[in-house]
Amino acid sequence: MSITKLYILALYLVAIICSTLFIVEEHYNIAILLILGNALPGYKLAESLMRKNED
């Protein structure tokens, strides 16, 4: 696995862990913002990675 893919994986983990911690601590407004703000670019990036793998 290339360094870039590992780095991207780490980014996804950071987003998931941070959002989860804010939910656990009942700071739902911050958690929602973290999830909503990262969902679309995260999804698009995953899509672009999948497309690359299909090619």
Partner 1 sequence: MIDEQIYRRFNHTIAACFVIYFLFPSEILNLQRSYYIVLFWILVISVEMARLTKGIKILGMRDYEKDRIASFVWFASGSCLLLGIYEMGIFPQSLVIATIIMAAYTDPVIGEANKRWGDKNGIICGLVCSFAIYQFIIGVFIYSIIGSIVAVISERPKIKWFDDDLAMQIIPITSLVILNWLNLLPDLVKDGVIIGGGI
Minimum Å distance from CB 20 to partner 1?
11
Q: Site mask, partner 1, residues 1-40, x = CB under 8 A? A: ---x---x--x--xx--x--xx--x-x-xx-xxx--xx--
Minimum Å distance from CB 50 to partner 1?
11
Q: Is 50 in the site for partner 1 (CB under 8 A)?
A: no
Measured distance CA(24)–CA(13) in Å, rounded: 16
Taking CA atoms, 34 is separated from 20, 41, 44, 50, 54, in Å, by 10, 12, 16, 23, 30
